[in-house]
C-alpha cells in the first residue's frame, strides 16, 4: 500500500519526504501542468480553424477556456501518471493559495485518479506541520478554483485583445495587462509631475548653539513673528509660494543681512515643550511588506525577494510567503515571546500577547503572516544559512520577534530660542525605553546603530536660559521634484489602491522592466518614452482599464467570486461582450486611433516631436532641408529631455558631430557624439573605406562637454594592454564595459577573469601591479548562480581546472561547470554524486549543443524578435519575395505573435 503526494517543486518534495513514512512517495508537478495555449503551435488541430482559438477562450460558449498541456510538461505528466499506477491513495499537497488550489484541480482533471483523493494544505514545512496536515485533509475548494480561473481568463482577454492593438498603432511586441497597465500609468503620472515641476529656492539660517558643553542645532523659523518659508510652502507647478500663504521668503542677500544683524547678539530660550510618545511594533510581514522592507534594507527587487523567500519556505525555514494576513498562530506567538524572554529579558516582553488582525477585505491567501517556521524559532545564527538567504531570514525573524515586544517609550523635545526678532527651533528625541527597537528598527540594517540614530540629545534647558552661539550660517535650499517610485513605494501604492494582489506584484514589476516600459536605475523605476505613448493611448481610448478605482473594483469582484458572493459568468459577459465591454470598445476605437498620433509622445516646450519607432524613441523636426530624425539615447528619460539636448541631437544629425581636434599620431579628426547608448568619442568619419571607425564610450557620469582632446585620445586607446600575468603569461587589460570600467585576465579558451575598477582607480591610468592586486581579490557575486552556495563541491575539471559544483536549482539539483549546467536525474542523490558522473553529464550536455531560441533564457524582447524573424523566414520560403512581408505579418500578428507576445502580460 502506497500513497502518492504531489507538490509543486522538487525542493519542497525533498524536504517533505523527510517527514513522511517510507510508504509515501512525493513527486513534483513543476508548477502548473496545464494552461491556456502560449503559442499557435500549442493549439489542438481540432480547433485551430476556430476564430477564438488564438484567444484560448471560447467567448461564445460561456467563456470556456482551452486548456493544453505545454510541451515541456508532457514528460512530467507522464511520470505522474506512471507514479499514480502504483498508488492506492492520492494526496494533492500544492500551496494553499488560489494558484495552488488551481494546480490541484488541473492535476485532478489530467490524472483522472481511480483511487481515493485528499487535498492537504499547510503553511510551513516542518515535521509537526506536515503530520498535522495529513490528519486534516479536505476537498478541493471549487469556488477558489473558479475565482482563479476567472482571473486567468480576464487577464487573457485584456492582454490578447489590447496587445495586438498596440502592435498596430505604436510598435511591435508591446503588451497590455490588467494590472501591469495601471502600474505603468502610475510611473508615467509621477514622471509627468516631475516634468511639470518648477524649482523654487529659499534661504534660512542654521545656528550651532552650546549649553553646558553640549552642542545642538537650531533652525530659523520666524522673523518678526512671520513664518519663514520652507519647501512645503512652494507650488510644484510654478516654483512660487502657494497663493494665500503668509510666509517670509528670504533670498541670499536677505539671509546674509539677517545673519549680520543678529551676529553676536544674545540668545534666549523662550519656550520648551516635552511630549511623551509611545511607539508600537509593526505587525509581522505580509508578502507586500516583506517586498517593501527587503527593497529598502537589502536593496532586493520584488522578484528576487520572492525567489529567496520561496527557497526558505521550501527548505522549512519560514512559513508560506504569499499571504495578505498579519495574523500569528498561538504557537507562533508563544515561540516569539520565548525568544524575547531568552534574548532580551522579561522587561522587553509586551505585557499581553499581541494579536494582529488583517484590515484588508481582500486578504485571502494563507492564514498566517510570514514568520520563522516551527513551534520554536531558530535564531538566524542557528540556521546555518549564509549570504542573502541569511539576511532575508534575519529580517523575517527580527520583525516577527519584535511584534511581541514591549512598546518603545520616547520623549520628543522642542526648544524655541529668540535672538532679536528672529525665532529658532531645535528638536530633540530621548529614548526612555527602547522596547521593540532593541530587535527591529524599520528601515535600518543595524538595530544598534539605528537605536543611536533614534536619539537627538538636547542639553538640560529651561525658559530664560541663554545658550552660546558658536556659529551661524546662511543656508540655501532648492525644492525637489516628487520622488520617483522605487519597487518598495510602487508595491505600497498598488496595495493601498487595492490594485492586483501582493502575490503578483513581483511578476508585474518584472514584466514592466522586461518589456521596456521602465528602467530600474539606482533603485528608481523610470518610465520610458514607450510607457508614455502606451499610457496616453489607453488613457484616451480605454480610460477605465488604467483607472486604479476601476481595477480595484475588479479585484473586489474576483474576491467575491471566491467566496460565492458573485457569479463569474455574468461578470465576464458584462466585462467583455456587453454593450460597453472590452471587445466592443476595441472595435469602435480602433478606427479612431491614428497610428502617427499614437506613436507621438507629447512633451511640452520641446522644439521637436518625440516618436516611437522600431528601434526606440527618436526626435522628429522640420527643417529647411526637410524632415530630420535623430535617435534619443536609451538612458535619457522623458523627464530629463530638455530643449538644449534636443537642439544638440538635431544639430549632430544635420551638421555632423562636434569636432574635438586631431589625433596627435594619426592626424584623424576626433568627434564627440551621442548615440542610442549615450555619449561617445569617435576616431575619423564613417565612409566606404572606414565603415566602423574606432569608438569609445564616455565613463559613466562624464558629461560630453567636459571631454578634452587628451581624454578622448586616452579613451580611444582602450582596451589598454597592461602586461602579462606572472603566473599564466596571459594578457591583462583595462577597458570600459556595460557595467563600468574593469580589468580582465584573458586566458583564451580557459576563460576570462574580470574585476571592476572602483574610484580612486582610473581605467585610463591603472597599472599592471594594481590590476594584479584587484584580480587576486575574491570575485563579487552578480546574479544567482555566482552567489549561490553549492550543495556539494566535487573538485576541479581535469582540463580547465575550474571548479565543478552541485547547486540547488528551481527544478532540482544540477551540476555546473563554467557556463554549462546539467540536471541530475531523479534517482540520483546529491550525497552519492561523484565527479566522474558529473563529467559524464556535462559532456552529454555540451555535445547536445545550445537550446533552441524558444527555450532560451534571453530577454523577452529578444525572444519576440527571434520569433518574428523565424516566422518571416518560414513565410518567405512559401511565398514570393514580393509577398514575404505581408505573409510574415499575417502569420506573426495573427498567430504566433498573438500567443507568444501577449501571453507575457501580467495579471
Alpha-carbon distances of 200 from 190, 231, 240, 511, 749, rounded to whole Å:
19, 8, 6, 36, 58
Alpha-carbon distances of 170 from 166, 425, 537, 538, rounded to whole Å:
5, 55, 9, 12
Q: How many whole angstroms separate alpha carbon 429 and alpha carbon 276?
A: 10
Q: How many whole angstroms separate alpha carbon 479 and alpha carbon 547?
A: 30
The values of phi and psi at residue 82, to 5°, are: -65, -40
Strands 720-724 and 731-737 come out as antiparallel
Residue 86 neighbours by CB distance under 10 Å: 9
| Residue 375, helix vs strand vs coil | coil
The DSSP H or E segment spanning 869 is helix 860-878
Q: Cell match 581636434: residue? A: 661
- CA neighbor of 453 nearest in space, from 483, 414, 410, 417: 410
Long-range residue pairs from 273-277, CB within 8 A, at least 24 positions apart, any chain:
273/413, 273/414, 273/415, 274/411, 274/412, 274/413, 275/411, 275/412, 275/413, 275/414, 276/409, 276/410, 276/411, 276/412, 276/432, 277/409, 277/410, 277/411, 277/412
| Residue 415, helix vs strand vs coil | strand
Angle at 309 between CA 305 and CA 312, to 5 degrees: 150
What is the largest distance, in Å, between two alpha-carbon atoms of the chain? 96
Which stretches of 420-555 are assigned E, i.e. beta strand?
422-433, 468-478, 518-521, 524-527
| Residue 877, helix vs strand vs coil | helix
Residue 855 neighbours by CB distance under 10 Å: 10
User: 809 - beta bridge partners?
Assistant: 812
Asked if residues 149 and 142 have their Cβ atoms less than 8 Å apart, the reply is no
Long-range residue pairs from 618-623, CB within 8 A, at least 24 positions apart, any chain:
619/646, 619/649, 619/650, 621/650, 623/650, 623/654
| Residue 156, helix vs strand vs coil | helix
Cell of 147: 475565482
Alpha-carbon distances of 204 from 215, 221, 704, 855, rounded to whole Å:
20, 8, 35, 61
Q: How many whole angstroms separate alpha carbon 585 and alpha carbon 592?
A: 11
Cell of 870: 523565424
Cell of 477: 535650499
Q: Cell match 539660517: residue? A: 205
Which active-site residues does the annotation give? Answer: 320
| Residue 765, helix vs strand vs coil | coil
Q: How many whole angstroms separate alpha carbon 495 and alpha carbon 501?
A: 7
Asked if residues 271 and 418 have their Cβ atoms less than 8 Å apart, the reply is no
Cell of 411: 520623549
- Residues comprising the chain, all counted: 907
Residue 782 neighbours by CB distance under 10 Å: 11
Taking the alpha carbons at both ends of the chain, their separation in whole angstroms is 42
Q: How many whole angstroms separate alpha carbon 296 and alpha carbon 392?
A: 12
Cell of 47: 480547433
Cell of 289: 511588506
Amino acid at each position: 500500500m502506497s500513497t502518492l503526494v504531489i507538490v509543486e517543486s522538487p525542493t519542497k518534495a525533498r524536504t517533505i519526504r523527510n517527514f513522511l513514512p517510507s510508504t509515501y512517495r512525493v513527486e513534483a508537478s513543476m508548477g502548473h501542468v496545464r494552461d491556456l495555449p502560449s503559442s499557435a503551435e500549442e493549439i489542438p488541430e481540432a480547433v485551430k480553424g476556430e476564430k477564438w482559438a488564438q484567444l484560448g477562450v471560447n467567448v461564445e460558449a460561456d467563456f470556456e477556456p482551452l486548456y493544453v498541456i505545454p510541451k515541456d510538461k508532457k514528460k512530467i505528466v507522464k511520470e505522474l501518471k506512471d507514479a499514480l499506477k502504483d498508488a492506492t491513495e492520492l494526496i494533492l499537497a500544492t500551496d494553499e493559495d488560489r494558484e495552488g488550489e488551481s494546480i490541484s484541480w488541473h492535476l485532478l482533471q489530467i490524472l483522472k485518479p481511480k483511487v481515493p483523493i485528499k487535498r492537504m494544505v499547510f503553511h510551513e514545512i516542518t515535521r509537526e506541520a506536515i503530520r498535522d496536515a495529513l490528519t486534516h485533509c479536505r476537498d478541493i475548494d471549487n469556488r477558489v478554483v473558479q475565482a482563479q480561473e476567472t482571473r486567468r481568463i480576464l487577464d487573457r482577454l485584456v492582454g490578447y485583445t489590447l496587445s495586438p492593438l498596440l502592435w498596430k498603432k505604436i510598435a511591435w511586441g508591446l503588451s497590455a495587462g490588467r494590472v501591469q497597465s495601471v502600474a505603468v500609468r502610475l510611473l508615467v503620472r509621477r514622471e509627468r509631475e516631475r516634468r511639470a515641476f518648477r524649482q523654487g529656492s529659499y534661504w534660512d539660517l542654521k545656528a550651532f548653539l552650546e549649553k553646558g558643553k553640549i552642542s545642538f542645532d537650531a533652525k530659523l523659523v520666524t522673523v518678526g513673528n512671520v513664518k519663514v518659508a520652507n519647501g512645503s510652502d512652494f507650488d510644484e507647478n510654478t516654483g512660487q509660494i502657494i497663493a494665500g500663504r503668509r510666509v517670509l521668503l528670504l533670498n541670499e542677500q536677505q539671509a546674509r543681512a539677517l545673519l549680520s544683524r543678529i551676529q553676536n547678539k544674545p540668545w534666549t530660550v523662550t519656550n520648551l515643550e516635552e511630549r511623551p510618545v509611545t511607539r508600537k511594533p509593526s505587525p509581522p510581514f505580509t508578502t507586500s511588506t516583506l517586498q517593501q522592507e527587503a527593497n529598502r534594507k537589502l536593496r532586493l527587487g520584488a522578484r528576487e525577494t520572492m525567489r529567496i523567500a520561496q527557497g526558505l519556505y521550501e527548505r522549512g525555514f519560514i512559513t508560506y510567503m504569499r499571504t495578505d494576513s498579519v495574523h500569528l498562530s498561538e504557537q507562533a506567538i508563544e515561540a516569539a515571546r520565548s525568544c524575547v524572554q531568552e534574548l532580551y529579558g522579561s522587561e522587553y516582553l509586551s505585557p499581553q500577547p499581541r494579536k494582529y488582525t488583517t484590515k484588508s477585505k481582500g486578504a485571502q491567501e494563507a492564514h498566517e503572516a510570514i514568520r520563522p517556521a516551527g513551534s520554536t524559532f531558530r535564531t538566524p545564527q542557528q540556521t546555518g544559512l549564509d549570504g542573502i538567504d541569511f539576511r532575508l531570514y534575519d529580517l523575517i525573524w527580527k520583525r516577527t520577534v519584535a511584534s511581541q515586544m514591549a512598546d518603545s517609550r520616547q520623549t520628543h523635545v522642542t526648544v524655541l530660542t529668540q535672538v532679536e526678532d528672529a525665532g529658532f527651533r531645535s528638536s530633540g528625541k530621548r529614548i526612555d525605553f527602547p522596547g521593540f527597537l532593541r530587535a527591529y528598527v524599520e528601515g535600518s540594517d543595524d538595530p544598534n546603530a539605528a537605536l543611536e540614530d533614534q536619539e537627538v540629545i538636547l542639553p538640560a534647558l529651561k525658559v530664560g536660559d541663554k545658550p552660546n552661539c558658536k556659529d551661524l550660517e546662511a543656508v540655501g535650499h532648492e525644492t525637489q521634484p516628487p520622488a520617483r517610485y522605487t519597487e518598495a513605494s510602487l508595491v505600497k501604492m498598488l496595495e493601498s489602491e487595492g490594485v492586483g494582489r501582493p502575490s503578483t506584484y513581483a511578476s508585474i514589476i518584472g514584466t514592466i522592466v522586461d518589456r521596456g516600459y521602465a528602467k530600474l536605475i539606482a533603485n528608481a523605476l523610470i518610465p520610458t518614452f514607450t510607457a508614455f505613448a502606451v499610457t496616453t493611448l489607453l488613457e484616451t481610448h480605454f480610460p477605465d482599464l488604467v483607472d486604479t478605482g476601476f481595477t480595484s473594483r475588479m479585484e473586489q469582484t474576483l474576491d467575491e467570486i471566491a467566496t460565492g458572493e458573485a457569479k463569474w459568468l455574468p461578470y465576464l459577459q458584462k466585462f467583455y461582450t456587453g454593450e460597453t465591454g472590452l471587445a466592443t470598445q476595441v472595435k469602435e476605437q480602433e478606427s479612431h486611433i491614428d497610428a502617427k498620433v499614437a506613436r507621438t509622445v507629447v512633451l511640452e516646450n520641446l522644439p521637436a516631436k518625440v516618436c516611437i519607432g522600431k528601434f526606440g524613441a527618436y526626435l522628429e523636426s522640420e527643417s529647411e532641408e526637410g524632415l530630420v530624425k535623430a535617435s534619443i539615447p536609451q538612458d535619457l528619460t522623458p523627464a530629463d529631455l530638455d530643449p538644449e539636448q534636443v537642439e544638440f541631437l538635431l544639430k549632430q544629425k544635420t551638421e555632423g558631430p562636434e569636432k574635438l581636434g586631431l589625433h596627435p599620431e594619426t592626424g584623424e579628426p576626433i568627434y564627440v557624439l551621442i548615440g542610442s547608448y549615450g555619449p561617445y568619442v569617435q576616431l575619423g568619419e564613417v565612409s566606404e573605406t572606414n565603415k566602423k571607425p574606432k569608438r569609445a564610450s564616455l565613463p559613466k557620469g562624464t558629461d560630453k562637454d567636459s571631454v578634452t582632446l587628451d581624454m578622448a585620445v586616452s579613451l580611444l586607446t582602450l582596451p589598454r594592454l597592461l602586461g602579462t600575468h606572472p603566473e599564466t603569461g596571459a594578457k591583462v587589460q583595462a577597458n570600459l564595459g556595460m557595467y563600468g570600467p574593469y580589468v580582465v585576465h584573458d586566458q583564451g579558451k580557459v576563460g576570462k577573469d574580470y574585476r571592476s575598477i572602483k574610484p580612486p582607480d582610473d581605467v585610463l591610468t591603472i597599472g599592471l601591479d594594481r590590476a594584479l592586486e584587484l584580480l587576486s581579490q575574491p570575485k563579487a557575486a552578480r546574479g544567482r548562480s555566482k552567489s549561490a552556495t553549492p550543495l556539494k563541491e566535487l573538485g576541479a575539471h581535469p582540463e580547465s581546472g575550474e571548479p565543478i559544483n552541485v547547486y540547488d536549482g528551481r527544478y532540482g539539483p544540477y551540476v555546473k561547470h563554467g557556463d554549462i549546467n546539467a540536471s541530475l536525474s531523479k534517482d540520483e542523490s546529491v550525497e552519492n554524486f561523484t565527479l566522474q558522473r558529473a563529467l559524464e553529464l556535462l559532456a552529454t550536455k555540451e555535445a547536445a549543443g545550445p537550446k533552441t531560441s524558444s527555450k532560451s533564457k534571453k530577454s523577452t524582447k529578444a525572444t519576440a524578435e527571434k520569433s518574428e524573424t523565424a516566422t518571416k523566414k518560414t513565410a518567405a520560403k512559401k511565398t514570393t519575395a514580393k509577398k514575404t512581408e505581408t505573409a510574415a505579418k499575417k502569420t506573426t500578428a495573427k498567430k504566433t505573435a498573438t500567443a507568444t507576445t501577449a501571453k507575457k502580460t501580467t495579471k
